[in-house]
Structure 1
Amino acid sequence: MSVVSGSAEVRGVPSPPSPPLHRVSFPAAAPPRPVTLPNSTPAWLVTRYQDVRRVLTDPRFGRAELYADDAPRAGGTPNVADTPASMFNQDGPDHLRLRRTVQHAFTPRTVEVWRPWVASVVEQLIDDLVDAGPPLDVVAAFTHPLPFTVMSRLMGLEELQPEQLRHWARYAFANDTPATGEEAEVGAEFREFAAGLLGDRRGRPGDDLVSSLVLAADEDGGIPEEQLVHLVCGLVAGGNDSATASIGNALVYLLGERRENWPRLADADLAETASERLLHSIPIGDDESGTRRAAEDVEIGGVTIPAGSVVAVSFGSANRDPAVFPPERAGDLFAPLEAPTMAFGAGQHFCLGAWLMRTQLHLSLHRLAARLPGLRLTEPVQSIVWHRSTTRSPLRLPVAW
């Protein structure tokens, strides 16, 4: 497992064989310890559940300081997540001001209002899938179009083509390797699109998320346009990539190793419990970590982390901490979690899209199992070719029923 902030490599060719993500291992939960990250940055690795939560909720550990002039950092490809202008890399009032412009659209109450419409999209996609008949690729028929349709409607981008989004996403979540001319060109194109979208909604506001973002930002008056541009890019690309990976990797596990449990997901309550367990136990990428920097000496788990140190927290390790999550219950899909999952982080940088992702995964598994109880993979898991960005998910997943 790679413990490093940033993203996995975006590849335009089939990746080498990799285990499915439910088989990826993580460092054992233990006291904080010095490590060297893959980009050669020295850091402190934090793995225990309570220690990870402490780092994520303690304001003395921040993201913005990772971009300070004296921060130990390797240069790489600038993208919508790896830039000081990103909401993810700001702290305190600056972060809250930007987050406030969009968080209303992702609260549990708001997402619940959206649930009937999301459910109708799920049903329509399953209708189309059934009409097409087996065998087919469930990625192309379902796991890609569902998040794209939901996010396009939420942001008022119904005319945006999936191919265009995937083209931009290759830049949006590029890795830490040196930038190429093509990446720079695509990045500029993506930012130009976002800037134009913001300008259009200022002149012609609607009932979409971008319009409300512009209204809130203009009322605030203190948010730089560059930050809004990166926010739009991150929402457009990130909301699709994460949900696609979550649903796809859950299907790999359920249909590949837990086929006997698949029909039980036709029960909506059981599907909801299982969805939370799956989000908790199956990462959406090979790198389940996040970084912060200590503003002062801080004691974490009995270890003093010096001021200025980079801290890498392992969400995957925290979600497997035996002191919180008994290993003997880890394989029980229908057992409620013993504590809140770290899959979405904690503190001020808690994932904005957590409830929307939960809703999409729950409805997807529940309705697919209810309508297609005989759904099965037609090729072995070992033959899967993976799509890689900050996430990893099946590029295609042939199924029949």
Structure 2
Amino acid sequence: MSCPVDAHVRPGPPMPPLHRLPFDPPGPPRPVDSPDGTRAWLVSRYADVRKVLTDSRFGRAGLHSPDTPSLSGESGLVSSLDLIFNQDGEDHLRLRRTMRRAFTPRAVARWRPWIEAIVEQCLDELAGSERPVDLVAGFTLPLPVAVISRLMGLDTEARERLRHWSQYAFSDGSHSEEEMASALSEFAVFGAELLAERRSTPGDDLTSMLVGAADEEGGIPEGQLVDLVCGLIVGGHDSTMTMLGNSLLYLLGERPEVWPRLGADEQAAGALTERLLHLIPLGDDRGTARHAVVDTEVGGVTIPAGSVVLADCGAANRDPAVFPPRPLDDLFAPLAAPTLALGAGAHYCLGAWLARLELQLALHRIAARFPGLRMAEPAEAVEWHLGTTSRSPRRIAVTW
């Protein structure tokens, strides 16, 4: 079965780039109705969003209790009760401990040489392609797929299935229940077989390390371990592909003046990467959901126990009280406060340092290798991958 990406290209007028989405001005917490009618509390100021993400009185597990309104925007793998993202307290810590050594900045730094080699290989193939070249097919997709495949120890057949599985793992609810069940069942079988293979024949990959760490930790149900591995596989490439594609579209389409410095200075590329993570959201949703365990005061407002809370990180990252708006931001300047693009607190993105390294190396090396890289068609003509909770360009035609 082929990947149904093309079926989710939105017809009609061009969609605005993600960094231009019209975020409402941040304000005090207020009750809102989500698109599916679920009543929730919207939190949008930087300090308030950070509190919701870091306060243990707001969790994920409660979102799936029988008396909590369902969120139709959460489907696919992200709605699985076994997923680490949907665990709280000791259950969450037990899963997180199995991975804590793998994703520290020091551990990720050790992966740098082979990640650099993958970047250069992708650029070599790009250089030998007939122009105009599609950056998505030639760079923003194959790079993160190759990295996560090397990290998790995936074979060629599994690599070819990643985009298919990702469409359903991060579905926005537009797929049928039958499609979802079939794809996710197939993915779970793959994850279980991969774990069994690594138990019998361990290697130097992350999957083998997780199997060993889980055995040491003890008490981790097999279903949770399968979801953990599957989540790492699809999340480890989808978010980087999305961010890299959106970043290149923004830089080439709107900020080409930064291209020379990006290619000349790798340290500056690191600063720019942080700014891009902060500026461009992964999707056009308006909040990451939490469940209020008890009555809790946030920003002078009491949010009742049992409420669904939407923490709008996109609006928080544009809070003028923390990030004063400027007509032309210096993309190489440090942020005034830590970005919330990768979350905060107990559920802070496990792959944050890996994502930063991939983006920094990819953006720096492509700018250094192709100083004359430019769009071969108007940015407004770009079509977008849809059907998932993230949004990225379907094609970016470039030349040099």
TM range (shorter): over 0.9
Report the Cα offset of residue 379 of structure 1: 0.7
Report the Cα offset of residue 26 of structure 1: 1.5
* 2:303 alignment partner in structure 1: 305
Question: 1:271 and 1:75 mapped to 2: Cα distance?
Answer: 38
Report the Cα offset of residue 286 of structure 1: 1.0
Report the Cα offset of residue 384 of structure 1: 0.7
1:115-155: CA deviation from partner (whole Å, max 9, x where unpaired): 12111111111111112242211111110011001000000
Mapped pair 1:289 → 2:287: yes
1:200-219: CA deviation from partner (whole Å, max 9, x where unpaired): 11111111111111111122
Report the Cα offset of residue 76 of structure 1: 7.8
Q: Which runs of 5+ in 1 are unaligned?
A: 1-8
Match of 1:272 among 270, 273, 276: 270
* 1:15 alignment partner in structure 2: 10
Instruction: Tell whether the 8 Å contact from 1:37 to 1:43 is kept in structure 2 after alignment.
Output: yes
* 1:61 alignment partner in structure 2: 58
Report the Cα offset of residue 310 of structure 1: 0.7
Identity, % of aligned positions = 57
Instruction: Tell whether the 8 Å contact from 1:44 to 1:312 is kept in structure 2 after alignment.
Output: yes
Match of 1:201 among 198, 202, 216: 198
Q: Relative to structure 2, which stretch is displaced further, 76-85 or 307-316? A: 76-85
Instruction: Give the 3-state SS of the residue equivalent to 1:54 in structure 2.
Output: helix
* 1:215 alignment partner in structure 2: 212
1:59-108: CA deviation from partner (whole Å, max 9, x where unpaired): 11000001111111156885211121111001011001011112322111
Mapped pair 1:334 → 2:332: yes
Number of residue-to-residue matches in the alignment: 393
> 1:331 is aligned with what amino acid?
D
Instruction: Tell whether the 8 Å contact from 1:76 to 1:177 is kept in structure 2 after alignment.
Output: no
* 2:155 alignment partner in structure 1: 158
Where do residues 1-400 of structure 1 align in structure 2 (5 Å cutoff)?
12-16=7-11, 17-74=14-71, 78-176=75-173, 179-266=176-263, 267-328=265-326, 331-388=329-386, 389-400=388-399
Coordinate RMSD, CA, aligned: 1.7
Instruction: Tell whether the 8 Å contact from 1:77 to 1:178 is kept in structure 2 after alignment.
Output: no
Question: 2:44 and 2:50 mapped to 1: Cα distance?
Answer: 10
Report the Cα offset of residue 15 of structure 1: 1.3
Instruction: Give the 3-state SS of the residue equivalent to 2:189 in structure 1.
Output: helix
> 1:339 is aligned with what amino acid?
A
Question: 1:151 and 1:373 mapped to 2: Cα distance?
Answer: 28
Report the Cα offset of residue 238 of structure 1: 1.1
Question: 1:76 and 1:288 mapped to 2: Cα distance?
Answer: 11
Question: 1:12 and 1:179 mapped to 2: Cα distance?
Answer: 13
Instruction: Tell whether the 8 Å contact from 1:152 to 1:160 is kept in structure 2 after alignment.
Output: no
Report the Cα offset of residue 331 of structure 1: 2.1
Instruction: Tell whether the 8 Å contact from 2:95 to 2:220 is kept in structure 1 after alignment.
Output: yes
Report the Cα offset of residue 176 of structure 1: 3.1
Question: 1:147 and 1:286 mapped to 2: Cα distance?
Answer: 22
Instruction: Tell whether the 8 Å contact from 1:41 to 1:74 is kept in structure 2 after alignment.
Output: yes
178 and 258 in structure 1: CA distance in 2 versus 1, 3 angstrom threshold? closer
Runs of 4+ in 1 over 4 A off after TM superposition: 74-78
Instruction: Tell whether the 8 Å contact from 2:342 to 2:348 is kept in structure 1 after alignment.
Output: yes
Tell me the TM-score normalised to structure 1 length. Answer: 0.94
> 1:189 is aligned with what amino acid?
E
> 2:377 is aligned with what amino acid?
E
Instruction: Tell whether the 8 Å contact from 1:105 to 1:111 is kept in structure 2 after alignment.
Output: yes
Report the Cα offset of residue 11 of structure 1: 6.4
104 and 330 in structure 1: CA distance in 2 versus 1, 3 angstrom threshold? farther
135 and 198 in structure 1: CA distance in 2 versus 1, 3 angstrom threshold? same
Question: 1:150 and 1:359 mapped to 2: Cα distance?
Answer: 11
1:241-285: CA deviation from partner (whole Å, max 9, x where unpaired): 100011100011100011122111011121111111011001111
Instruction: Tell whether the 8 Å contact from 1:78 to 1:179 is kept in structure 2 after alignment.
Output: no
Report the Cα offset of residue 190 of structure 1: 0.6
22 and 334 in structure 1: CA distance in 2 versus 1, 3 angstrom threshold? same
Instruction: Tell whether the 8 Å contact from 1:24 to 1:286 is kept in structure 2 after alignment.
Output: yes
Question: 2:117 and 2:327 mapped to 1: Cα distance?
Answer: 34
227 and 322 in structure 1: CA distance in 2 versus 1, 3 angstrom threshold? same
Instruction: Tell whether the 8 Å contact from 1:122 to 1:364 is kept in structure 2 after alignment.
Output: yes
Instruction: Tell whether the 8 Å contact from 1:274 to 1:334 is kept in structure 2 after alignment.
Output: yes
Instruction: Give the 3-state SS of the residue equivalent to 2:114 in structure 1.
Output: helix
Q: Which runs of 5+ in 2 are unaligned?
A: none
> 1:397 is aligned with what amino acid?
I
Tell me the TM-score normalised to structure 2 length. Answer: 0.95
> 1:111 is aligned with what amino acid?
V
Question: 1:158 and 1:361 mapped to 2: Cα distance?
Answer: 24
127 and 287 in structure 1: CA distance in 2 versus 1, 3 angstrom threshold? same
78 and 320 in structure 1: CA distance in 2 versus 1, 3 angstrom threshold? closer
Question: 1:71 and 1:28 mapped to 2: Cα distance?
Answer: 28
